[in-house]
């Protein structure tokens, strides 16, 4: 199994500049835009372990930056000092500051300047839900459009901004299969709201490039990796872009000649348009590398089907695998999917392990302690 190294030489503050070799659309005819990216490690000596993530340091869209400068009334040539380094305001907005997603702290700081009664009301504890609704789909520029401020100093303006955070993506490749490369699976965010076109900072940054150098670094995940015993069976649940680390897992197991059984649950909207890496999975199933492959399509029939439904359908067999010592993995959405999968796992324990609700909850917790129930959710 490949191991992680190089993380000490390259980090968020000292990224590796990798060439973006491949930018390929995975979805075809879908209203979702999901892309496959391949980055070069080019004799860097950097290694990663399947299950790790990569941190990408994006650049803000120049159009967004120019619009913000225009609305606030700056030329962009003003000087800004960050950590004892001097930058033009334009350069700082492009590379150093996050200037899209709006937070409660930003609204509070803005209103200390603007003194807007409507914002003061929104910031009250009892109006938490209204504040969340207001922030959704809005950016800092929307505050300045709704409540124009004249004559702000650069210092006061930049005090409203926070540092640009890196974006972490689960790595979708194994070095054993792709020497000197790292692959990503990214859902590109684009939408319209409040009369403006919006897009995800990092996903669109990647989507609109090929051949460019991308600042990045590896982020190890010691709690989400293949078992040391390569013959141990694994069960992987990864709908949507949650499929990424499991592509790495299967590539690694194939490369090292693992005899362990592999079971994948994947789901998305439609098999025709959203079957990410579908040809690969079908080939692995045909070759026997995937012992089981269960697919859930939410929009290919009248009743929506999700991965947790497929788990319940195969409850007896899934329970049998777990009794054999299988490691259970889940990757993807934390807010709903991971909770539904957890409930399905407990329901399977109740039906096929004859456990009470309380005992099934204790059982899943014991699996986690044994590192046989591993999550990479966000």
pLDDT at 69: 97
Query: Under CATH, which number does the domain 234-377 receive?
Result: 3.40.50.80
pLDDT at 172: 98
Describe the crossing of helices 337-352 and 315-323 by its angle, rounded to 10 degrees. Answer: 80
Write down the domain spans for the chain. 16-57+166-219, 62-163, 234-377
Which pair of tokens denotes residue 127? 């109006």
Q: Which of 115, 114, 74 is nearest to 92 (CA)?
A: 74
What whole-number distance in Å separates Cα of residue 81 and Cα of residue 335?
Answer: 38
Span 141-165, pLDDT tens digits: 999 999 999 899 999 999 999 999 9
Which pair of tokens denotes residue 57? 């340091």
Q: pLDDT under 70 in the chain at which residues?
A: 1-8
Q: Which of 239, 289, 221, 235 is nearest to 264 (CA)?
A: 235
With H, G, I as helix, E, B as strand and everything else as coil, classify residue 299.
Answer: coil
Span 9-59, pLDDT tens digits: 788 999 999 999 999 999 999 999 999 999 999 988 889 999 999 999 999
pLDDT at 4: 42
Are residues 89 and 76 in contact, defined by beta-carbon separation less than 8 angstroms? yes
pLDDT at 10: 86
Q: Which of 305, 375, 300 is nearest to 338 (CA)?
A: 375
Query: Under CATH, which number does the domain 62-163 receive?
Result: 1.20.990.10
pLDDT at 93: 98
Within the chain, strands assigned E span 16-25, 33-40, 53-56, 79-82, 85-88, 97-98, 162-163, 167-170, 181-188, 190-193, 196-199, 213-219, 234-237, 262-268, 292-297, 327-332, 373-377
Please give the radius of gyration of the chain, using alpha carbons only, rounded to the nearest integer.
23
Percent of the chain at pLDDT > 70 equals: 98
Are residues 218 and 5 in contact, defined by beta-carbon separation less than 8 angstroms? no
pLDDT at 43: 81
Burial class (CB in 10 A: 0-12, 13-18, 19+), 291: middle
What single-letter DSSP state applies at residue 222?
T
Angle (CA) 110 112 114, round 5°: 65
With H, G, I as helix, E, B as strand and everything else as coil, classify residue 53.
Answer: strand
pLDDT at 7: 43
Describe the crossing of helices 337-352 and 357-369 by its angle, rounded to 10 degrees. Answer: 110
> 16-57+166-219 belongs to which CATH class?
mainly beta
With H, G, I as helix, E, B as strand and everything else as coil, classify residue 92.
Answer: helix
pLDDT at 45: 85
User: In whole angstroms, how far apart are CA 236 and each of 103, 266, 283?
Assistant: 35, 8, 17
């Amino acid at each position: 199994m490949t191991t992680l190294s190089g993380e000490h030489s390259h980090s968020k503050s000292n990224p590796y500049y990798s060439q973006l070799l491949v930018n390929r659309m995975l979805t075809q005819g879908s209203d979702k835009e999901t892309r496959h990216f391949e980055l070069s490690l080019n004799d860097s000596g950097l290694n990663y372990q399947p299950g790790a993530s990569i941190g990408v340091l994006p650049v803000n869209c120049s159009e967004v930056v120019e619009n913000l400068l225009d609305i606030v009334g700056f030329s962009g040539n003003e000087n800004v000092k960050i950590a004892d380094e001097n930058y033009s305001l334009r350069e700082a907005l492009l590379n150093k500051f996050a200037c899209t997603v709006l937070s409660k702290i930003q609204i509070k700081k803005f209103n200390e300047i603007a003194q807007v009664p409507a914002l003061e009301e929104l910031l009250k504890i009892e109006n938490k839900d209204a504040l969340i609704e207001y922030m959704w789909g809005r950016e800092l520029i929307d505050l300045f459009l709704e409540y124009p401020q004249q004559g702000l100093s650069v210092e006061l303006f930049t005090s409203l901004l926070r540092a640009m955070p890196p974006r972490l993506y689960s790595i979708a490749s194994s070095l054993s299969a792709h020497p000197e490369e790292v692959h990503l699976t990214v859902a590109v965010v684009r939408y319209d709201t409040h009369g403006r076109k919006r897009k995800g900072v990092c996903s669109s940054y990647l989507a609109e490039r090929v051949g460019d150098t991308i600042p990045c670094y590896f982020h190890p995940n010691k709690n989400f990796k293949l078992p040391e015993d390569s013959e141990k069976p694994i069960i992987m649940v990864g709908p949507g872009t949650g499929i990424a680390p499991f592509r790495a897992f299967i590539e690694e197991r194939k490369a090292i000649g693992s005899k362990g059984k592999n079971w994948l649950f994947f789901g998305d909207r439609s098999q025709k348009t959203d079957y990410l890496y579908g040809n690969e999975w079908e080939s692995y199933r045909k070759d026997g590398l995937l012992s089981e492959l269960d697919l859930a399509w939410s929009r290919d029939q009248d009743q929506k089907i999700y991965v947790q439904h497929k788990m319940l359908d195969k409850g007896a067999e899934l329970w049998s695998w777990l009794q054999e010592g299988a490691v259970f993995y889940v990757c993807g959405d934390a807010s709903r999917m991971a909770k539904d999968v957890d409930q399905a796992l407990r329901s399977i324990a109740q039906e096929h392990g004859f456990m009470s609700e309380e005992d099934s909850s204790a059982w899943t917790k014991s699996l986690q302690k044994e590192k046989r129930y591993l999550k990479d959710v966000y």
